[in-house]
Amino acid sequence: MNKCFICNKNSSETILDLGMSPIANNLEIDIDQSQTAEKYPLNLSVCRSGCNHVQISEIIDQKKIFNDYFYMPSVSKTLTNHLKEISKEINKKFKIKSDTFILDIGSNDGTFLESASNFSKNILGVDPAKNLSDIANKKGIRTINDFFSHKLAKKIKNKYGSADFIISTNTFAHTPKINDFVEGMKELISDEGVIIIEIHYLGSMIDDNSFDTIYHEHFSYWSLNNLNNLFSKFGLNIFDAYVLPVHHGQLRIYLSKSKKYKKTKSLNDLLDKEEKEDLIGKKLKLFCKKVLKIKSNLLDLFEKISNDEKIVYGYGAPAKASTLINFIGENNLKYIYDKSHLKQGKYLPGTSIKIKDPSEIQYDKPDYIFLFAWNFSKEIIDDLKNNFNFNGKLIIPIPDLRIIDID
């Protein structure tokens, strides 16, 4: 049994073993360093003390993971638009004034705050990655380069006052110190202020078989009921929640200290649905079984491609590519294409697979492209057809294995 991040008891039981994996986002320039990258056990576990928290069992020092970070939403049109929509939605629902204080925790390269700056000039970002904070600050998006904590929240409050809105997209699952993080948000949000958290949704992970979204930087995997129990302990009320289709199923929740916001039907429906489906019981157990089946199907496919002497390269080198490859092995993959210039020329962690510019597809002419970034399949299929003249077969591994002819 491992220690649970929420209740601190040694009652977290491993239910899925994904083998040994390196830190998913630490891309190396040197092939030897990549192949010998330190690997850590990657397991999913559930707390059996009654708190039901779903988490990974191994904690790696956050500084090792987030100091240099290569994930940027701004390289994807879908994600950039998604972040722009959030600021429009907040404005529509709550009316942003020009001095409304908007704080983004895990602000990355400042993409969200850039769009929020159309409504308010009083914006602030916090992000632990130095490279990304530098990019944001250079763009004029005021960003503190640090991990968000209760201590930092007090400092921000002293200097800038309470926040009217705290936004945190894809960050909350990235902290093992959950209680301190929530304490910090509670400290900083104004009495009638609204916190909006977007988080990868456990229900979607299970529905999509997206086990590849399990990696060491993702410490926790949240159901709405678990979030509800956590925040109510801190006197924060979730008043709205719904699942969005981006990012393989993103749960957006709205919280406040104030009880003036009425709980929505969507929130209550989702809470009921999870209970009825026995999400963290029966459904999660079935998911773990399916993951092992996906592995054996993919190994069969790679063997067939190799026997047919066909060439297969990958597309998209997000963190989840690292989980998938370290789980099923490199097989005969030599290259992965990725549009991010920060990633090109580097190696997928723990492997000898080199990342290169997708503009080379037209010269490489692979027979198959294995889509690691399967959640952006529509955007990528358009690119492959229209920009990279690819006319081979596309392998989409998840939610279910599909092979599509591109021509």
Binding site for Zn ion (CB under 5 A): 4, 6-7, 47, 49, 51, 53
Q: Of 47 and 355, which CB lies nearer to Zn ion in the complex structure? A: 47
Residue 53 Cβ, how far from Zn ion at the closest point, in Å? 5
The CA distances from residue 166 to 196, 228, 332, in Å, are 6, 18, 45
Q: Of 220 and 250, which CB lies nearer to Zn ion in the complex structure? A: 220
Residue 177 Cβ, how far from Zn ion at the closest point, in Å? 14
Q: Of 6 and 253, which CB lies nearer to Zn ion in the complex structure? A: 6
Q: Of 169 and 220, which CB lies nearer to Zn ion in the complex structure? A: 220
Helix (H) or strand (E) holding 298: helix 284-307
Residue 72 Cβ, how far from Zn ion at the closest point, in Å? 33
Q: Of 48 and 157, which CB lies nearer to Zn ion in the complex structure? A: 48
| Residue carrying the six token digits 């970070």 | 69
DSSP character for 218?
A: -
Phi/psi for 306 (5° steps) reads -65, -45
62 C-beta neighbours (distance < 10 Å), count: 17
Q: Which residue, among 82, 124, 94, 370, has the nearest Cα to 247 in the 3D structure?
A: 82
Q: Which residue, among 271, 380, 401, 322, has the nearest Cα to 27 in the 3D structure?
A: 322
Residue 48 Cβ, how far from Zn ion at the closest point, in Å? 8
Q: Of 46 and 395, which CB lies nearer to Zn ion in the complex structure? A: 46
Calculate ∠ Cα 13-14-15, nearest 5°: 110
Residue 3 Cβ, how far from Zn ion at the closest point, in Å? 9
The CA distances from residue 37 to 70, 79, 174, 355, in Å, are 17, 30, 21, 16
| C-alpha to C-alpha distance for 388 and 358, rounded to whole angstroms | 7
Residue 288 Cβ, how far from Zn ion at the closest point, in Å? 19
Phi/psi for 235 (5° steps) reads 75, 25
Is residue 222 within 8 Å of residue 196, measured between CB atoms?
A: no
Residue 10 Cβ, how far from Zn ion at the closest point, in Å? 10
Residue 200 Cβ, how far from Zn ion at the closest point, in Å? 19
Q: Of 3 and 88, which CB lies nearer to Zn ion in the complex structure? A: 3
Q: Of 26 and 175, which CB lies nearer to Zn ion in the complex structure? A: 175
Pairing status of strand 12-21 against strand 402-405 = unpaired
Is residue 183 within 8 Å of residue 151, measured between CB atoms?
A: no
**Residue type, position 181, single letter:** F
